[in-house]
Structure 1
């Protein structure tokens, strides 16, 4: 009886082990058959890149190196191929400018030079054309020339919106496009080059260097998508898209895929971000931007202030645009009016942050800075400037033209609309 009981127990134990193995195999097979879902690490990517330990990610610093190493690991985890000159990296060296109006000259890494690092990944679909999807990852370090911070002590500028937000969305798109093409029986008709640029804050240096030293055939680049400051979407869901005139396909594609945003379009391919470097070598570009804010180029641009739901919606939108354009072959390029050539030079400033997403009449103020003419005149966030001196203000360009005629010490009348009230006051430059 004891022997029989032992045999029964052994049989039960065997059957239990067998059942567990089969269950595990069933789970494994089920997992293999289930479509893989791209991981969403937008919030985690921003948190790392905008952490104090990276000390503001200024080009040429240890913080920038730490950021580039993180981006390499993220590209590896996503599964995109290296496409730099040194694995995922494309290094570039330059001497700091002494003349602000001169162009930086790239040189070999030697004394008195700064070295930056573009980080580049690639999805190869064996296609003839490639889409570049980019965002700059450098920022201002502890401030310096580009900072709008007026505190007495240096402070880390973490640049969560500018531009950890754009990099995080770029990485999210890389993950989604990798999963999509791994599972597709028919690959997309474009390859994808993902670029995290350095040196943007010093004058679009990383993208400029790549445009002159591309790691793929520049003639094969179909179009370029750039994301810079996409983390502060406002309640009205306004999204600025620049470069809409650089290809005939863009406007209709943007419209047909949009059911979430109030789009503010700008046709020009030239602007203060890395898409400009590609437009200048005759590549169609789209640049996405959610607007400036009071923390722009200040220590307060931190990760807890970002609109992550808005960033996910932007990623969805760009993904849909890319998918839609995939059926259209190589896009035609169009030159656009270069508004920057018409921008007047200023001797004075009002001391406001303009609302670049405002599409009404006048120039709406998105913020004021202390110890400035605007602050002294009592101007407030939300005020719409309708008149400055003798000039009527209808848009940003007319505001800049009006401002350009004044010198230090001048006094001018200014008319603003605040809610339903129209206010006339004076401003001292």
Structure 2
């Protein structure tokens, strides 16, 4: 009961403006609610995550999405035992004193079609920090506005547009995943315990961190090799984004769970930033105009996909298996959306080798030791050649100049 009262109160706040209600819940409203301190970072298995689930269940009702079962329930509840060993598998099972509970939310748009498209985003985050946090101070609320209140807000906007589209023929399953930050748990559980025949799913689209579209309008889309039609369609519908297309269907987000079921996937992403997995990932830092543009692009993609009678699945290379192993780090955040030659630095951590060497945000690493750096993979290969205590030279391009400096790992 307290969760329903919470939803009623917070939805009233979202819909109220002075004496008159605003016409609809906006993406800003959804993000501000999900990324509020009152939800304590939405860590799976906590009261904050349950409050978020209650709010999102109300939003699904508001959008007139159908619940996934005959009892009117939007929740797919699962229990699991947290990993003790980071390399071990999570054990799903019945609830016990040593287990946690996750809650996926599933809402249908039933158009009587023979196919059901899955559109998803995770709503959980890191709570007060812990494993996965890049915050160096005392425990603090990690609100996760970009990660991933942004994806949830865009998904709900997309669901609204599809719901209001009278010509739609496919069915759509709107999925909000729990447990992503703990290892794609919610999507993995659904893929192994589906509420529909996965053979009837032509493709899946995942939205994870889509709230920081930059000035260059760079939008990363992964999974473009999982069906032959993706690249041509994405480029032909592009309204002006600087697209970075990556073929692999495997990555650190929920689309991976569906790719492993031989379903074509896409993952939309606007890039990491200095607030990633830190308490500073707050609602006021998001680019809401950019999120609207992404929602529009997605809707046009969904519309075009209804005309694709066959969506053939294709396996891709697992880029994570090809990633070199390394034991040292420069202490920088790479710009994963950079499409030029080299590895552009998106952030420098104080007290680490790069900071000591004088490297700055925006520098493009073009050489490390004897290795020429042309992209992220060549950067990681070069880094894998060093061990703690080694010294070398790093060359960066900075505002038209080439700067060479020493660095010690």
TM-score per shorter chain, which class? over 0.9
The equivalent of 1:80 in structure 2 is 65
Distance 2:189 2:279 in 1: 28
Task: After TM superposition, give the deviation of residue 256 of structure 1 in Å.
Answer: 1.3
The equivalent of 1:27 in structure 2 is none
89, 98, 101: which one aligns with 2:87? 101
Residues 84 and 233 of structure 1, relative CA distance in 2, 3 Å threshold:
farther
Cα deviation digits, residues 279-325 of structure 1 (max 9, x gap): 11100011100011000000110000000000000000000000011
Residues 329-338 or 192-201, more deviating: 329-338
The equivalent of 1:370 in structure 2 is 350
Matches within 5 A, 1:251-400: 251-400=231-380
Cα deviation digits, residues 366-400 of structure 1 (max 9, x gap): 11111211111111110001111221111011111
171, 174, 181: which one aligns with 1:194? 174
Displaced runs of 4 or more, over 2 A: none
**Are 1:70 and 2:55 counterparts?**
yes
Cα deviation digits, residues 231-267 of structure 1 (max 9, x gap): 0001111111111111111111111111221111001
Distance 1:136 1:362 in 2: 32
Task: After TM superposition, give the deviation of residue 349 of structure 1 in Å.
Answer: 1.4
Task: After TM superposition, give the deviation of residue 428 of structure 1 in Å.
Answer: 1.6
The equivalent of 1:21 in structure 2 is none
Distance 2:94 2:122 in 1: 22
11, 16, 33: which one aligns with 1:48? 33
The equivalent of 1:154 in structure 2 is 139
Residues 284-293 or 98-107, more deviating: 98-107
Checking the alignment, whether the CA contact within 8 Å between 1:84 and 1:119 is kept in structure 2 is no
Supply the RMSD in Å over aligned alpha carbons. 1.3
Task: After TM superposition, give the deviation of residue 95 of structure 1 in Å.
Answer: 1.1
The equivalent of 1:4 in structure 2 is none
Task: After TM superposition, give the deviation of residue 405 of structure 1 in Å.
Answer: 2.1
Structure 2 gaps of 5+ residues are: 1-22
Distance 1:278 1:251 in 2: 19
Normalised by the length of structure 2, the TM-score is 0.92
136, 148, 164: which one aligns with 1:163? 148
> Which structure shows the higher helix fraction?
1
Find the residue that maps to 1:177 and give its secondary structure.
helix
**Are 1:177 and 2:157 counterparts?**
no
The equivalent of 2:10 in structure 1 is none
Normalised by the length of structure 1, the TM-score is 0.88
Distance 1:67 1:240 in 2: 27
The equivalent of 2:99 in structure 1 is 113
Q: Which has the larger radius of gyration?
A: 1
Cα deviation digits, residues 8-38 of structure 1 (max 9, x gap): xxxxxxxxxxxxxxxxxxxxxxxxxxxxxx9
Task: After TM superposition, give the deviation of residue 40 of structure 1 in Å.
Answer: 5.6
Task: After TM superposition, give the deviation of residue 404 of structure 1 in Å.
Answer: 1.6
Distance 2:87 2:371 in 1: 29
**Are 1:407 and 2:387 counterparts?**
yes
The equivalent of 1:13 in structure 2 is none
